[in-house]
Structure 1
């Protein structure tokens, strides 16, 4: 079965809209796991607009039996916080060094981006990513690279030592239900076949939901894990958290 990792950024975003610790990120992580989710994903950004560094440390202590996936830009600079009760952002790689998650997903997003919207271009970034990948693997952290479904790029990911790739599925979600659906989906199918060919594990994430997930999961090859946050949070409001987790799990069977 493909593993379901719940991204809790939106829970943290709701919390951060008030000067409070409610809703609790850790409590929601525990509830997701109790409902059957296989892991938790967080994406701390330098401005700490949702997940904060302290959340990562707390979750690392909580997730002793479930998978912990931290994603982010390894080249983003640390930032000082002037918000009351919010610690400074020590830098993405420092958070990973201190927490040693099961998986680290490296993502090429800028500080100004609303959300991740493209994968790495390894013709430009491979040289500076390679030593970071080596360091993370020396910490026994599995390394995944956020990638577009481009075969040549996927082969480069293998060459620089990545363990997995996470396919950016925004284009698939956008095309779902349209005339372009099959053509766009085929690009992801081909990408999954290349990943299997070169020996890369395959993850996927971005805008996957209860409508489009089943088709994607049953089309691509060897899908190991999906990370879902925004749509899950919306569905949890409508269905309740436990039922939302179980609905996503049913799509992955």
Structure 2
């Protein structure tokens, strides 16, 4: 069954909007774990627009499940990752002007640099996942770079404007997951998943973990964070039982 990891970045987004101390993503992570989350995801961006260094170090001390640190291949952030020792590092593309991550990492075009980061992390026994579009070229490059995981970018599937378009994007994700496994990669998935579109992705036997943040944090405004996590976890578990 696919596991559910919760991204708490947008709790920090609300905090940073006022430049104060609440709401605290560290507290949010604890609530998510108590509600059944199998892991916590945070993205320490170069511009520190939401998660701060303080959050990373405190979360490393308090997370009881698994810490997935999303990051760009930036020397300053690499140094922090090596100090903090997360359970998983996920390399993502990062542009200062974007509102959120807009697409997968072009591993093929940056193979030497990414392979170097993977090697650095590997020396400290930190596995690396690469956030990629569901494309064969990127999967092959990820395997060549030495990554342990890929996280398939589900954004195009989630943003599809018609059922036919969504079905096409879903098929690409399913095929990419199969190919990734055949290349010796483990597979996660995420970006844009919500309470309406998660079930089909969760039902794919090749996918080990889903990373979901914005939809859950948005729903928590109305239901509370504990309930929002439990409702998404129920969707993931029902998807498995329906196979």
- Out of 208, 214, 220, the residue aligned to residue 236 of structure 1 is 220
Tell me the distance in 2 between the aligned counterparts of 1:94 and 1:247: 37
Gaps of 5+ in 1: 78-90
Q: Which runs of 4+ in 1 moved over 3 A?
A: none
Report the equivalent of 2:241: none
Shift of 1:176: 6.5
Report the equivalent of 2:42: 42
Report the equivalent of 1:108: 93
Q: How does 1:132-171 map to 2 (within 5 A)?
A: 132-171=117-156
| Closer/same/farther in 2, CA of residues 214 and 97 from structure 1, 3 Å limit | same
- Out of 197, 202, 207, the residue aligned to residue 223 of structure 1 is 207
| Closer/same/farther in 2, CA of residues 27 and 165 from structure 1, 3 Å limit | same
Q: Deviations over 1:198-242 (max 9, x none)?
A: 111111111001100001222x34211111111111111122211
Q: Is the contact made by 1:170 and 1:207 (CA closer than 8 Å) also made in structure 2?
A: yes
Q: Does 1:21 align with 2:6?
A: no
* Number of residue pairs aligned between Structure 1 and Structure 2: 237
TM-score by length of 1: 0.90
TM-score by length of 2: 0.93
| Closer/same/farther in 2, CA of residues 176 and 189 from structure 1, 3 Å limit | farther
Q: Does 1:247 align with 2:203?
A: no
Shift of 1:49: 1.2
Report the equivalent of 2:240: none
Tell me the distance in 2 between the aligned counterparts of 1:19 and 1:163: 37
Q: Deviations over 1:181-200 (max 9, x none)?
A: 11111111110110111111
Q: Deviations over 1:14-69 (max 9, x none)?
A: 11112321111111111110111111110011221100111101100112x31000
RMSD: 1.3
- 1:180 aligns to what SS in structure 2? helix
Q: How does 1:1-80 map to 2 (within 5 A)?
A: 1-63=1-63, 65-75=64-74
Q: Is the contact made by 2:108 and 2:137 (CA closer than 8 Å) also made in structure 1?
A: no
Tell me the distance in 2 between the aligned counterparts of 1:15 and 1:120: 28
Tell me the distance in 2 between the aligned counterparts of 1:232 and 1:115: 16
- 1:129 aligns to what SS in structure 2? helix
